[in-house]
């Protein structure tokens, strides 16, 4: 297929790489041009002159940019150039509101916008093992899944526009609470004079086990926080959660507290540290 890809950052570059390896005809664009030129040098395809050029003739236009404003800007620029029947798949984590608005904006001439945020981090993007949650039209989800399956281990259609983003918010609520619990557990182990590695061996096969424990316990204990998903991104995502919760009446008390803890990590200079840096705050 002819695929346009906008946003060749930490996540987008390896995702687009899997599509090139699958044999698709790639046209890529990035706000800062050198990333697009480097990507084409490594994977082939063509650098688009602008977003409209990436959209023109694309069967599927894939986005992995930063936030709501980026998605709105890209979709509004791409829409006039996008062919009839084309699909936009947006992997950016955004509000459900912007996802619904973009779905409405694109819904002419058989074109469809799908909100398709991902979970699995930089490692998941590189290994082609992302979990993708999608909101939007059922037939378009089926067509898009054939393409994005190149970098997914699980694809779930959650319902209409915005439901992919709502599901990603649930994912971030889970992570916030679990990571703070682990940070406290590591700090408690150390204050109690226990060896954190031995503690991990003792409890990681029981009810306390989690992905975060298996992948971040030891690095938190060593004070290493360079593992991908940045605190700045997490605060964006928790802001989306809390805004949605204010609207739907859900009580997200722990999430709101952990969001403030991340604000403290930012003030400590940890904007680009990964989410497990909640542990750094407890060492102050
Ligand atoms: N990193 C993770 O582990 C992870 C995991 C799950 C979900 N996410 C989500 O995925 C999205 C991307 O994350 P990331 O870590 O890949 O971020 P990133 O490294 O900052 O990549 C975003 C890319 O999009 C480009 N971009 C932004 N606005 C653009 C625009 N208007 N036109 C063209 N290109 C534009 C940026 O260009 P520049 O080069 O100019 O900055 C950058 O290369 C975010 O919404 C994030 O929350 C990230």
Convert the pLDDT of each residue in 102-151 to its tens digit: 999 999 889 999 999 999 999 999 999 999 999 999 999 999 999 999 99
Q: Which residues line ligand 1 (CB under 6 A)?
A: 6-12, 29-32, 35, 64-66, 70, 73-74, 92-93, 118, 121-122, 228-229, 233
Among protein residues, the one with the nearest Cα to ligand 1's atom 42 is 9
Q: How large is the average pLDDT for residues 54-78? A: 97
168 an active-site residue? yes
For residue 169, pLDDT over 80 is answered with yes
Residue 229: the pLDDT is 87
Atom number of ligand 1 nearest to Cα 67: 45
Among protein residues, the one with the nearest Cα to ligand 1's atom 32 is 31
> How remote is the CA of residue 91 from the centroid of ligand 1, in Å?
9
Place 60 in a pLDDT band, splitting at 50, 70 and 90: very high
Q: How large is the average pLDDT for residues 38-61? A: 98
Residue 139: the pLDDT is 97
Among 35, 97, 168, 283, the one annotated catalytic = 168
- Closest by alpha carbon to 233, among 40, 64, 97? 64
For residue 219, pLDDT over 80 is answered with yes
Residue 180: the pLDDT is 98
Reported pTM:
0.96
Q: How large is the average pLDDT for residues 170-181? A: 98
Among protein residues, the one with the nearest Cα to ligand 1's atom 31 is 70
Convert the pLDDT of each residue in 41-51 to its tens digit: 999 999 999 99
For residue 228, pLDDT over 80 is answered with no
Residue 80: the pLDDT is 96
Convert the pLDDT of each residue in 238-254 to its tens digit: 999 999 999 999 999 99
Residues in CB range of 85: below 8 A, 6 or more apart: 59, 109, 110, 111
Convert the pLDDT of each residue in 263-276 to its tens digit: 999 999 999 999 99
Among protein residues, the one with the nearest Cα to ligand 1's atom 5 is 121
Place 227 in a pLDDT band, splitting at 50, 70 and 90: confident
Place 258 in a pLDDT band, splitting at 50, 70 and 90: very high
- Helix H, strand E, coil C: the string for the chain is CEEEEECCCCCHHHHHHHHHHCCCEEEEECCCHHHHHHHHHHHCCEECCCHHHHHCCCCEEEECCCCHHHHHHHHHHHHHHCCCCCEEEECCCCCHHHHHHHHHHHCCCCCEEEECCEECHHHHHHHCCEEEEEECCHHHHHHHHHHHHHHEEEEEEEECCCHHHHHHHHHHHHHHHHHHHHHHHHHHHHHCCCCHHHHHHHHCCCCCCCHHHHHHHHHHHHCCCCCCCEHHHHHHHHHHHHHHHHHHCCCCHHHHHHHHHHHHHHHCCCCCCEHHHHHHHCCC
Residue 267: the pLDDT is 98
For residue 1, pLDDT over 80 is answered with yes
């Amino acid at each position: 297929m002819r695929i346009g890809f906008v946003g060749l950052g930490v996540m987008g570059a390896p995702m687009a790489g899997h599509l090139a390896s699958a044999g698709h005809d790639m046209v890529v664009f990035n706000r800062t041009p050198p990333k697009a030129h480097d990507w084409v040098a490594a994977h082939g395809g063509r650098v688009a002159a602008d977003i409209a050029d990436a959209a023109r003739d694309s069967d599927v236009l894939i986005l992995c940019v930063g936030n709501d404003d980026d998605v709105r800007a890209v979709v509004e620029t791409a829409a006039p150039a996008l062919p009839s029947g084309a699909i936009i798949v947006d992997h950016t984590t955004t509000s459900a509101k912007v996802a619904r608005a973009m779905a409405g904006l694109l819904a002419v001439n058989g074109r469809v916008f799908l909100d398709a945020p991902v979970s699995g981090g930089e490692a998941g993007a590189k290994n082609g093992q992302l979990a993708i949650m999608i909101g939007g039209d059922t037939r378009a989800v089926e067509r898009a899944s054939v393409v994005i399956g190149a970098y997914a281990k699980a694809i779930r259609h959650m319902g209409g526009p915005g439901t992919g983003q709502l599901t990603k918010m649930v994912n971030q609520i889970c992570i916030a609470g679990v990571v703070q619990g682990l940070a406290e557990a590591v700090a408690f182990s150390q204050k109690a004079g226990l060896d954190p590695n031995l503690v991990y061996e003792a409890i990681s096969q029981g009810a306390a086990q989690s992905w975060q424990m298996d992948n971040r316990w030891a690095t938190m204990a060593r004070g290493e926080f360079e593992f991908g998903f940045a605190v700045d991104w997490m605060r964006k995502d928790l802001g989306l959660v809390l805004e949605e919760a204010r609207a739907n009446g859900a009580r997200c008390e722990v999430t709101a507290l952990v969001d403030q803890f991340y604000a403290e990590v930012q003030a400590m200079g940890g904007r680009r540290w990964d989410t497990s840096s909640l542990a750094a705050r407890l060492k102050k």
